[in-house]
Amino acid sequence: MCHENSKASQIELMKQQLEGLVSRIIDMERQAEGLSRRIEMRKDRILALEAELKRYKLALTPSGETKAAYMGEITFGREIDDGNLHYTERITLPWTAMKEAMSLIRGYAAGLASTGENRPEV
């Protein structure tokens, strides 16, 4: 009889251990599902940031498309007073100046990237 009680208690102990292991596996599966969702969200964010970066690069790269988009968009006034006549002359920023500005912006951004310096978002 003692041998049967010992065997029954061993079986009960193994059953409890198995239940504990099953419970841990279920918890780990839940954690894995949560991590999987977080990874998917991060992937989506990375893809969105990559698309945004591509748009910025295209916007700052001189091309026929950017020339067509920007030409005539940046103007400034210069006051003219020659004694007899006073007026404001409207000056359109030339394409070559826009390309130079684009180059300066790309260079500044590359410098920030190379130093690892972070600037707050605008």
Percent residues over pLDDT 70 in the chain = 92
- Under 8 Å CB-to-CB from 112, ≥6 apart: which residues? 118, 119
pTM score of the predicted model = 0.58
Q: Work out the mean pLDDT of the chain and round it to a whole number.
A: 89
List C-alpha distances in Å: 76 to 26, 87, 88, 89: 67, 13, 9, 8
What's the full length of the chain, in residues? 122
Residue with tokens 């007026």: 87
In angstroms, the CA 31 to CA 37 distance is 10
User: Could you report the per-residue pLDDT of 15-63, keeping only the tens digit for each?
Assistant: 999 999 999 999 999 999 999 999 999 999 999 999 999 999 999 999 9
